[in-house]
A and B are shown apart, each in its own frame.
Chain A
């Protein structure tokens, strides 16, 4: 997103995570206009420090489904951010929250779909969705 000219702020518990962000960049993350905050997503102070109040879009993509679903709802309801996307690994939970109006991305379901279509293309009789 930073490559396409957006202002991106990343919040992560791990202070070393910035090294990952900078991999492949010619200059430091901040020089590209990026922001990096160390903190826990559920901490209001951390969210505020990361600039949630001015965000146009919010992506919740920690490794915890429940954490993502909680902070996404905070972003949507408390901070009234229009574009909120949540990563949810568990397909059932992803589906239900999607039905409740949260925009979810479920990598597991995506993989299942891809595998199914791959199997289908190979002429297998596996059921398709």
Chain B
């Protein structure tokens, strides 16, 4: 696969190395002369000097035949523009952008630049995973498909504790796909019994998580048929 990486800082440089090691054809574009000199030493003709948001620089790098473009400069506006132009003007099918300031994620989205990867967000996710709030962790969001996968810890004496999966009364559009217990996981059957301390993985339609946390974590005595319409 031919991949263009714009921005050869720590992220871009290491990406370039990895991609090259995996046998991909890579071009690194860097606009800082000092940094470029160092990169060129290692990447030789696979490094190009220039401002990656300038069209002629992209064209010189062969953007028309690139199968993937990754924008990882330290500047969010540049990353957005580079990706937008690469996709809309040059028809690059796969683009990945780095988002330096998570507050800019909405702008990436507005310009149709996705996925935008924010290190801050990733770290926040990891923190959430280590220190879950309300025992619920987002494992995966598929906004386009309007699905998400969450992990939820079952508290003692909660509604779910001691109940079979089939009688959890989960809303339509949600499904328990795995139960993690004592360091191992299994795919539950309808009559598998949920215990306190279990971690349940659920796939669900976006927006159902509150209903599910209320249900599973709620009091034992709630009506069994609380299925959502």
CA distance A36 to B181 in the complex (A): 59
In the bound complex, CA of A92 to CA of B89 (Å):
12
Q: A74 contacts B110, CB within 8 Å?
A: yes
- A67 and B78 CA atoms in complex are apart in Å by 8
Q: Are A93 and B54 in contact (CB under 8 A)?
A: yes
**Can you report 26 residue pairs joining A to B where beta carbons are below 8 Å apart?**
A42-B76, A44-B103, A44-B106, A64-B77, A65-B53, A66-B75, A66-B77, A66-B78, A66-B80, A70-B77, A70-B80, A70-B81, A70-B111, A73-B110, A73-B111, A74-B107, A90-B55, A92-B56, A93-B53, A93-B54, A93-B55, A93-B81, A93-B85, A96-B55, A96-B89, A100-B88
Contact A90 B54, beta carbon cutoff 8 Å: yes
The residue of chain A having its C-beta at the shortest distance from the C-beta of B54 within the complex is A90
Cα of A42 to Cα of B88 in the assembled complex, Å: 22
A92 vs B104: C-alpha distance when bound (angstroms): 26
Q: How many residue pairs bridge A and B at CB < 8 Å?
A: 44
From A70, A90, A96, residue with most partner B Cβ within 10 Å: A70
Interface size on B, residues (CB 8 A): 19
**What does DSSP make chain B's interface, helix, strand, loop or mixed?**
helix
A77 CA to B106 CA, complexed, in Å: 12
Task: List chain A residues, Cβ under 8 A from B107.
Answer: 42, 70, 74
Q: Do the beta carbons of B88 and A67 come within 8 Å of each other?
A: no
* Beta-carbon nearest neighbor of B106 in chain A: A44
- CB-nearest residue of chain B to A73: B111
Cross-chain contact of A96 among B75, B85, B104, B106 (Cβ < 8 A): B85
Contacts of A42 in B (CB 8 A): 76-77, 104, 107
B77: chain A residues at CB < 8 Å are 42, 64, 66-67, 69-70
Residues on the A chain within 8 Å of B81, using CB = 65-66, 69-70, 93
Judge whether A14 is part of the interface by a CB distance below 8 angstroms: no
* Interchain CA distance A73-B81 in the complex, whole Å: 11
Question: What chain A residues lie within 8 Å of B89 (beta carbons)?
Answer: 96
CB-CB nearest 4 A-B residue pairs: A66-B77, A66-B81, A92-B55, A67-B77
Contacts of B78 in A (CB 8 A): 66
C-alpha gap A64/B55 in the complex (Å): 15
